[in-house]
Each structure stands twice: as structure tokens, then as C-alpha cells.
Amino acid sequence: MLRCLEHAGRTDEALGLRRRLFESRPSLEAFQALLEAATRAGHDVVALREEVLGWVQVQEASGGRLDGDVTLRAQVLCAEQRWSEAAQLVQPGVSCSAPTLRTIALNLGAEERDTAAALLMRVLDAAMRGAASPYRMELQLVAEIAQRMHAPQRAVWLAHLRKVYAGKRNFLNGLPMR
């Protein structure tokens, strides 16, 4: 129906429907479709983007539909390749999906490797809560984290993992020596 409205030149009506759809089921795809509809309708896309992200932020803070989870805003920043801004948004204390945290971490530059390592550690912590042998994904995360650390820091962190996960023998066997 939306495509029909857009093809019939009823772009403002289609934009209104896209907005209602986004607000009823916020997602990255719905956000991008809303901005595309604004472009077709000749509206100020930058202003709409800011307005909608403001609405999302209110939903996060007010216990609304997104209830403290900044995943959607982080995904928008990732889609726009604004990696540093996304990393600032997802600092400890806020909730964000593990896949989004990992995406941000893997795309940060070398100058932000400490931030990337910290984000990946959050992903690892979440993964280890329900992890079971053979720990492939978790050990891959360990490798990604370790490569972002200097040798002394890495050695201390690996020793910490050995202590914390002492009961997970197969995980410990897969850890790098240093």
C-alpha cells in the first residue's frame, strides 16, 4: 500500500504512514524507510532524522517501547558509519545488543583499540553466561580482544579469564598462552 501511495504521487501521505509504522515498531529498516519517504516527499531529511532520533531517545529514557536500550540509535550510527559516536553512545551503564556492540568494536580505528577491547569484553561476558563447549565463538571473541591489547595487559586479562572461568576446562584449553 505504501508503494502504491508513493507511485501515485501521494508522498506526504506515504511519509505519514511510514512515521506511524516506525513509531509502532521501531527498527533500523523502518527508520531508513522513513528517511527515504521523506526524501521522496521533498522534506528536510536532516531535520526529520534529528526529530526521530530525539523521539527514540525519549522512548529509551521514559521506560517506553525501547526501555533503556540504545541498540536502535547505535544501529543508526553504525549504518551511517559513525563508529566513534556509536562507541560513545554504548558506554557501560546502557543496554545494547551484543551484535551491535561487536559491530562497533570491529569497526573502530586503531586509536580506539582500548574502547574496542572494552566493548568486546562486554560481548564476551554476555556470551559466556550461556556458553557451552566447544566455545568457538567465545574463543574467537577472546582472540579479537587480545589482538587489541598490549602484551602486559593481555597477560593480566588472560590470567583473569583463567580464574573466572576455572570450571570451564575446554574454554581454558582454548585460551592463548599469552
Please give the pLDDT value at position 8. Answer: 44
Please give the pLDDT value at position 3. Answer: 55
Q: At 25, give phi and psi (nearest 5°).
A: -140, 80
pLDDT tens figures, 165-175: 999 999 999 99
User: Does pTM top 0.85 for this prediction?
Assistant: yes
Angle between helices 151-164 and 136-146 (to 10 degrees): 150
HSE-CB of 98 using CA atoms within 13 angstroms: 13
**116 with 105: CB under 8 angstroms?**
yes
Please give the pLDDT value at position 10. Answer: 77
Please give the pLDDT value at position 166. Answer: 94
pLDDT tens figures, 67-86: 789 999 999 999 999 999 99
pLDDT tens figures, 34-52: 999 999 999 999 999 999 9
